[in-house]
């Protein structure tokens, strides 16, 4: 799930990594606990996957316990943090540029501390302190509880590193401080790490072994969010289908289907989403659970990565084209109204033209509502970097990517146009980007819908909207009744 996958907004293109780095607090409602007046302040920028955004809220909670308050103003921050992504080289480059900007600010305001969090911290470890000399703190994804210590040291001028990877840490007891919140939708992290070892992926090295969070703490967090007015939660993990938590009291094991059901039962008006699913692990039991509960959204992010079996084998995805197609058929059979989206990599090691064409045809066949599409970027230390040559020329990668993007745009547009005339239940998230006379919200299939405001409706309300027009990214409509 990546970094990709913010609330899976927008549609098609996810090529320019720079655009993925969203800055918390920009033109956004004040974060919880924002208090410009007193005490020390931290500013945090997050890049990459939803998990990073979710982790930043855990970091914010830990810092607020020791008196640091969030601020949206870089200029007034005592502590500047950047939560980083290593998934592709470009993502790391964006962060390096930001660090140079922060370094300049530091020189103008001595005493300001800068910290690197997340995957780049884990991957590069103390290199940040030794070679780049741009930062005071380097903290990996499993070491956030040590932040107060390290910050206290940095306040005394000591530079600190903690990149210890844990087999147990899930931050289950920490109640995240919602930073970038619209007050309607929130993320809940249900597991950490990844044991899959896809050959292209750096995540197993930066986020460590897979571990699942206590299901009761997840349900409590969902209940708390509902009581505070939230109406949608997204359960997050690199591979949610392998969620497995054993109750130490009675040894009972809870799997993902059972967890989904527990969260769905919190309240019928609390929508449940999840990301990311792995084609090898998604079970019919999960699909039947989705079908049974109206409030579990009919939307599955099921990254294919490549449509060709030989490439999938080199990617170590542990399924082939036929297996993937069978899973897609099962989804459409068990949940006929379900939308499916994907992640796709163009130009993986050794990819031939006919193998690439299998990916293009998969976009058409699976009828994805959207995809996140990327050129392959070799990551040091991964199995692919050790075993295969990154031999597809950059221009060929770009050309293939463009072909996939064009195919996805065509499929998305067709898919969205087929919705014209249909009426969907939409959860209102806020004003549309273009006009404060319009609301935006999503339907169960995760499609963004925009429609004129009508009396008394507000964010957090459900409303029925009839689709009157469509682009490849958005459905336009008007409030209606089913």
- Alpha-carbon span 275 to 446, nearest angstrom: 12
- Alpha-carbon span 463 to 451, nearest angstrom: 11
- The helix or strand, by DSSP H or E, that contains position 105, with its residue range, turns out to be helix 89-108
311 part of the interface to ligand SF4, by CB under 6 A: no
The β-bridge partners of 232 are 185, 271
Comparing CB distances to ligand SF4, the nearer of 160 and 307 is 307
Residue 163: CB minimum distance to ligand 5AD, A: 20
Whole-angstrom CA distances from 277 to 19, 220, 461 are: 24, 23, 28
The β-bridge partners of 41 are 69
Comparing CB distances to ligand SF4, the nearer of 239 and 258 is 239
376 interacts with, out of ligand 5AD, ligand SF4, none, CB within 5 to 8 A per kind:
ligand 5AD
Residue 372-401 contact track with ligand SF4, rule CB under 6 A, x = bound: ------------------------------
Residue 417: CB minimum distance to ligand SF4, A: 32
- Alpha-carbon span 282 to 301, nearest angstrom: 11
Comparing CB distances to ligand 5AD, the nearer of 341 and 409 is 341
Determine the Cα angle at 98 with ends 122 and 4, to 5°: 60
Residue 233-272 contact track with ligand SF4, rule CB under 6 A, x = bound: -----xx---------------------------------
Among residues 189, 178, 264, which one has the least CA distance to residue 229?
Answer: 178
The pairing of strands 232-236 and 271-275 is parallel
Comparing CB distances to ligand 5AD, the nearer of 205 and 245 is 205
Four-residue CA torsion sign, 45, 48, 49, 55: negative
- Alpha-carbon span 428 to 180, nearest angstrom: 17
196 interacts with, out of ligand SF4, ligand 5AD, none, CB within 5 to 8 A per kind:
ligand SF4
Residue 319: CB minimum distance to ligand SF4, A: 11
Whole-angstrom CA distances from 351 to 239, 286, 388, 445 are: 25, 33, 11, 32
Our CA dihedral for 79, 85, 88, 94, rounded to 10 degrees, sits at -20
Comparing CB distances to ligand 5AD, the nearer of 2 and 43 is 2
Stretch that binds ligand SF4, among 88-96, 198-206, 417-425, 472-480 (CB under 6 A): 198-206
Residue 297: CB minimum distance to ligand SF4, A: 21
Region class of 197: left (phi > 0), else alpha (psi between -120 and 50), else beta:
left
Residue 239: CB minimum distance to ligand SF4, A: 5
Whole-angstrom CA distances from 394 to 3, 103, 120, 399 are: 22, 32, 24, 9
Residue carrying the six token digits 């990301």: 275
Comparing CB distances to ligand 5AD, the nearer of 105 and 310 is 310
Among residues 24, 5, 7, which one has the least CA distance to residue 178?
Answer: 24
Residue carrying the six token digits 């058929």: 329
Comparing CB distances to ligand SF4, the nearer of 112 and 277 is 277
Residue 135-174 contact track with ligand SF4, rule CB under 6 A, x = bound: ----------------------------------------
Stretch that binds ligand SF4, among 61-69, 190-198, 218-226, 287-295 (CB under 6 A): 190-198
Comparing CB distances to ligand 5AD, the nearer of 205 and 451 is 205
Residues contacting ligand SF4: total by CB under 6 A? 10
- Alpha-carbon span 194 to 58, nearest angstrom: 19
* Of 62, 120, 151, 203, the one binding ligand SF4 by CB under 6 A: 203
* Of 278, 314, 356, 440, the one binding ligand SF4 by CB under 6 A: 278
- Alpha-carbon span 19 to 181, nearest angstrom: 19
- Contacts with ligand 5AD by CB under 6 A lie at 2-4, 87-88, 200-201, 303, 305, 343, 345, 374, 376-377, 379
Comparing CB distances to ligand 5AD, the nearer of 129 and 331 is 331
Residue carrying the six token digits 């989804």: 331
Nearest residue to ligand 5AD, scored by beta-carbon proximity: 2
Binding site for ligand SF4 (CB under 6 A): 194, 196-198, 201, 203-204, 238-239, 278
């Amino acid at each position: 799930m990546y970094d990709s996958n913010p609330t899976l907004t927008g549609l098609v293109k996810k090529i320019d990594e720079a655009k993925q780095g969203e800055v918390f607090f920009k033109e956004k409602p004040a974060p919880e606990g924002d208090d410009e007046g007193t005490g020390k302040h931290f500013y945090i920028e997050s890049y990459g996957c939803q998990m990073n955004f979710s982790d930043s809220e855990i970091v914010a909670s830990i810092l607020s316990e020791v008196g640091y308050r969030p601020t949206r103003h870089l200029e007034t921050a005592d502590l500047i943090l950047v939560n980083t992504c290593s998934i592709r080289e470009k993502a790391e480059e964006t962060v390096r540029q930001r660090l140079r900007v922060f370094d300049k600010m530091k020189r103008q305001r001595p005493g300001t501390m800068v910290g690197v969090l997340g995957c780049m911290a884990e991957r590069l470890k103390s290199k940040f302190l030794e070679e780049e000399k741009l930062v005071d703190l380097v903290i990996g994804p499993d070491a956030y509880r040590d932040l107060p210590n390290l910050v206290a040291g940095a306040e005394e001028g000591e530079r600190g590193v903690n990149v210890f990877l844990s087999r147990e840490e899930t931050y289950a007891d920490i109640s995240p401080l919602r930073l970038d919140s619209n007050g309607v939708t929130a993320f809940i992290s249900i597991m950490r790490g990844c044991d899959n070892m896809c050959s292209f992926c750096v995540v197993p090295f930066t986020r460590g072994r897979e571990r699942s969070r206590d299901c009761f703490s997840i349900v409590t967090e969902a209940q708390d969010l509902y009581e505070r007015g939230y109406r949608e939660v997204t359960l997050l993990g690199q591979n949610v289908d392998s969620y497995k938590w054993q109750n130490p009291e009675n040894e009972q094991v809870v799997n993902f289907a059972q967890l989904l059901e527990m969260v769905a039962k919190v309240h019928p008006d609390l929508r449940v989403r999840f990301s990311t699913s792995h084609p090898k692990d998604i079970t019919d039991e999960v699909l039947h659970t989705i079908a049974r509960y109206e409030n579990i959204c009919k939307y599955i992010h099921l990254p294919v990565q490549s449509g060709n079996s030989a490439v999938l084998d080199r990617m170590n995805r542990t399924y082939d084209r036929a297996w993937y197609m069978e899973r897609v058929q099962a989804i459409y059979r068990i949940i006929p109204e379900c939308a499916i989206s994907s992640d796709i990599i163009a130009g993986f090691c050794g990819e031939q033209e006919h193998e690439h064409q299998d990916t293009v045809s998969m976009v058409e066949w699976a009828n994805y509502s959207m995809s996140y599409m990327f050129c392959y970027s070799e990551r040091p230390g991964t199995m692919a970097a050790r075993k295969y040559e990154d031999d597809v020329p950059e221009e060929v990668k770009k050309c293939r990517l463009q072909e996939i993007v064009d195919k996805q745009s065509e499929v998305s547009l067709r898919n969205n146009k087929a919705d014209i005339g249909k009426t969907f239940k939409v959860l209102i998230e806020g004003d549309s980007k273009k006009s404060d006379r319009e609301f935006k919200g999503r339907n169960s299939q995760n499609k963004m819908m925009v429609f004129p405001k009508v009396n008394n409706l507000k964010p957090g309300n459900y409303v029925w909207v009839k689709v009157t027009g469509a682009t490849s990214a958005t459905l336009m409509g008007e409030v209606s009744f089913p």
